[in-house]
Structure 1
Amino acid sequence: MAITQVAVYAHLSPEDVEAFGLELDAIRRDIEERRGTKDAAYIRRTIGFQRILDLTARLVIACSSTKRGWLLGTAALATAKSIENMEIGHNVCHGQWDWMNDPEIHSSTWEWDMAGVSAQWRYSHNYRHHVFTNVIGIDDDIGFGVIRITRDQQWHPRSLLQPLQNLLLAATFEWGIALHGLYSEHERAADDAEKSAQTKAFLGKIVRQAGKDYLLFPVLSGRRWRRTLTADISANVLRNLWAYVVIFCGHFPDGAEKFTPEAIEDETKPEWYLRQMLGTANFDAGPVLGFMSGHLSHQIEHHLFPDLPSNRYAEIAVRVRALCDKYDLPYTTGSLPRQYLLTLRTIHKLALPDSMLLATSDDAPETSSERKFGPHPATAVDAPAGRRGLRTALAERAGHRRIRRAKAVES
């Protein structure tokens, strides 16, 4: 099923894992030493641009009388909301800009423009997800409690409905994230009074958020209130769909591995780095697509360094890819359509019970473990010359599979 021995799966010796971690630590130190005025100017410029875009979009929606004006305003508003959520809110709440000591742009004070409470999200996401990435039974982001995304999650008859549940989650993603954060807070609450306080904060945020989008702005539009209301609803749905696609493409394509709780027992920092590398995936993006995704097109780099400024991920990625080449590790990436189609394949396939699936639970595109390589996988120490890591092992296994399939066809 899921990976239990991360270093063994990666075909790296303990010495290699330690050296790998030290090189990543060096990258972190270098970025921390060089971040400064330009980075601060970047986030302030981004916040200013987003607020101007949001205001302009609302004015276009309210003041124009044509369908084209409504479409343009709605698209601009959806873009502004996506930037606020992805490049600003998500990254500010990760503490990427805390070093600036600016009380307005700080993880402890930022409240983002969506239904969930930022403080509740920070616990479920920054701690439960980022510390225990893809650990079965601990990281609740594996399918967000409604999607069976690995064979390590038990199949139930309701799983047959998950293609439809996936569509519903995509359209209402901000509400799913909001409830996800609340449930995480309830799980760690010491008593009913603490649960009640978290629920009150949650409901208060919903009232403020829904009141702003679905009451205040429509009322300010006067007789055109329906125009504004439908624009706000549409912009929120478009933002939800985009955030859903970005998040799912960073965590659920083939190559984003899952881990058993045993995998993190006595886990060292280098081993944590390695798990993050193996458990996430990127998608190819230029400057505009990267910006619109909150630079989560570099999900691997984000999981390695979640609190480093997002505008640095592209340059970090060059060095991380070089490390992957050095240690013969896969760097999981692909075009956005490809990564999403792979994710959809997993979602639809795992709606079915395991008895109807072809690959084994240790050697499937979406679920694999060190057992796929046999009882004693080779490591760098075993390699006769040079370093033989996971990338080579996976390529060899894929080659052997192709040969077996060809022979089966011939026979």
Structure 2
Amino acid sequence: MNMPAALHPNSKSKYLTEAQIQEFGAKVEVIRREVMDDLGEKDAQYIYKIRNFVRYSEIASRGMLMFGGWIPPVWLLGTGLLGLSKIVENMELGHNVMHGQFDWMNDPTLNGASYDWDTIATGDDWKYTHNYIHHTYTNIVDKDHDVGYGLLRVSEAQKWEPRFLMNIPLAIQLMVFFEWYVGLQRLHLEDVLVYKTKTWKQVWDEAAGLRKKMRRQVVKDYVFFPLLAGPNAIPVFAGNAVANVIRSLWASAVIFNGHFTEDAENFEADNTENESRAEWYIRQIRGSSNFSGTQWLHILSGNLSHQIEHHLFPDMPANRYAEVAPKIKALCAEYGIHYNEANFIQQFSSVWVRLAKCSVPNHWQDKIGQGGHLIRTCLAQLKAKFQ
């Protein structure tokens, strides 16, 4: 098997022969082709409805903040709705459109190459770090920068450093300021602050496009709309700030659940140059995590609740992932490939156990693992008690 060796100590996937791997990959291709050949009006109408929701919810929420922001219930409702609007714009609209999922519609407003979303990260930077680097080298240590974002230790293969003792508080900080960290990701600031392999002059030169986007976003949310609100400037400013944090907290929780759970595997880079498409499919499955929930939970997560399917088919309209997920799950069961799936709370809990374990050197992790097992057992007992 030529795919990169897994670094996860407790891989639940079976060994497959080369023939089985290629057979599996061919069956995944059949599932993909069935959906891509069926794209049409219902998919177009879906994304237009999502875009309309984003537009009208933003108008309504900003109106509430501008004209009734001093009234606490109105401020809470307006801020919450604005946060919701920003979440859907980033997750189900921007993220998916910039993957090229709707390029087939030939609508220039939904073209992946030109769409730019309502967040600090530029479209070009994000498409490089996410569409190219992350989706090509998914969970490969030292190649996929999403393995810890240069801030966290989320794999035993990452060299332990004393700063990782702060893994948990650093993860909380990452969640609160996630919009900014994603915007700055391409600059690799850890190379300046920690490893000293890069200069601030290099960072400044590389950040020309980002500085322009940052100015636009800051002026829009913290200057233009507050000034437009006149006497309601303070509640508008505060509402925009809180809405952005709401979006960051939710988006980071979804990303954590999709990549940092205990069963999400990491890989070595040894054989990636010769990796076949079928082997790439298997790596995507073994390195990703799904979480279950309602239709609205799927929409709010940009359908990244189906992270496995997204990593298999990043250019497939995300509204189709729920349709293909049972087929991929059944295929994984047939070939003995672990399909990492649980509810949101279970996956999110396992993320923090993994972060805790990776905060200490590898030889200390058995004790942390025992504590994590105890926590999961208690959660399961509580769940059973209240059902």
The answer for the alignment partner of 1:311 in structure 2 is 319
User: Residue 74 of structure 2: which of 57, 69, 72 is its match?
Assistant: 69
Q: 1:35 aligns with which of 30, 35, 39?
A: 39
Cα deviation for residue 10 of structure 1 reads 3.4
Q: Which residue of 2 aligns with 1:44?
A: 48
1:120 Cα deviation (Å)? Answer: 0.6
Q: Note if 1:233 corresponds to 2:241.
A: yes
Measure, in 2, the Cα distance between the counterparts of 1:133 and 1:221.
44
Asked if structure 1 preserves the Cα contact closer than 8 Å seen for 2:262 and 2:353, the reply is no
Q: CA deviation at 1:263?
A: 3.9
In the other structure, the counterpart of 2:169 is 164
Which residue in the other structure is 1:15 paired with?
19
Q: What does the per-residue CA deviation read over 1:215-265, in whole Å, with 9 as the maximum and x for residues that have no partner? A: 000001101100000000000001000000000000010211000001424
Structure 1 residues 28 and 197: alpha-carbon distance in aligned structure 2, compared to 1, 3 A threshold? farther
1:97 aligns with 2:102: yes
Pick aligned residue for 2:291 from 283, 288, 307: 283
Report 1:5-404 matches (<5 A): 5=5, 10-64=14-68, 65-183=70-188, 198-358=206-366
Provide structure 1 residue ranges, at least 5 long, that are not aligned to the other structure.
366-411
Say if 1:193 and 1:40 are closer, same or farther in 2 by CA, change over 3 A. farther
CA distance in 1, matches of 2:354, 2:298: 25
Q: In 2, distance between residues paired with 1:297 and 1:233?
A: 26
One-letter amino acid matched to 1:297:
S
Cα 1:194–1:39 change in 2 (3 A) is farther
The residue aligned with 2:378 is none
Give distance in 1, aligned partners of 2:234 and 2:203: 37
Aligned to 2:197: none
- Residues 339-394 of structure 1: CA deviation (Å, up to 9, x unaligned): 0110011112221122322289xxx89xxxxxxxxxxxxxxxxxxxxxxxxxxxxx
Question: TM-score, with normalisation over the residues of structure 1?
Answer: 0.82
The change in CA–CA distance for 1:8 and 1:49 in structure 2 (over 3 A counts) is closer
Q: Flag the 1:198–1:41 CA change in 2: closer, same or farther, 3 A.
A: farther
CA contact (8 A) 1:169 1:176 kept: yes
**What displacement does 1:193 show?**
11
Percent identity between matched residues is 37
C-alpha separation in 2, matches of 1:79 and 1:120: 24
**Contact kept in structure 1, 2:26 and 2:278, CA below 8 Å:** yes
> Aligned pair count?
356
Task: Please give the alpha-carbon distance, in whole angstroms, between the structure 2 residues aligned to 1:293 and 1:323.
Answer: 24
CA-to-aligned-CA distance 1:142-168 (integer Å, 9 cap, x gap): 011101001101111111112111111
Whole-angstrom CA distance in 1 between matches of 2:353 and 2:86: 29
Moved more, 259-268 or 270-279: 259-268
Quote the Cα distance in structure 1 between the aligned partners of 2:321 and 2:167: 33
Question: CA 1:131–1:4 in 2, change beyond 3 Å: closer, same or farther?
Answer: closer
In the alignment, residue 35 of structure 2 is paired with which amino acid? I
Q: Is the 8 A contact 1:182 1:202 kept in 2?
A: no
Q: Distance between the aligned counterparts of 2:155 and 2:350, measured in 1?
A: 13
- Cα 1:326–1:171 change in 2 (3 A) is same
2:381 aligned residue: none
How far, CA to CA, are the matches of 1:33 and 1:68 in structure 2?
48
Q: Distance in 2 between matches of 1:331 and 1:15?
A: 21
Contact 2:13 2:338 (8 Å CA) reproduced: no
Q: Tell me, what secondary structure is at the counterpart of 2:64? A: helix
3-state SS, counterpart of residue 334 of structure 1: strand
Q: Secondary structure at the match of 1:145?
A: coil
- Does the 8 A contact of 2:284 with 2:308 survive in 1? yes
Quote the offset at 1:328 in angstroms: 2.1
After TM superposition, the structure 1 stretch with the greater mean CA deviation from structure 2, 349-358 or 97-106, is: 349-358
Cα shift at 1:80: 0.1
- Would the alpha carbon gap of residues 97 and 193 (structure 1) be closer, same or farther in structure 2, given more than 3 Å must change? farther
CA RMSD of aligned residues (A): 2.4
* TM-score for the superposition, normalised by structure 2: 0.87
| 3-state SS in 1 of match to 2:101 | coil
- Which amino acid counterpart does residue 318 of structure 1 have in structure 2? P
2:322 alignment partner AA: A
Contact 1:290-1:296 within 8 A present in 2 as well: yes
Residue 325 (structure 1) shift: 1.9
Q: Report the structure number with the largest CA radius of gyration.
A: 1
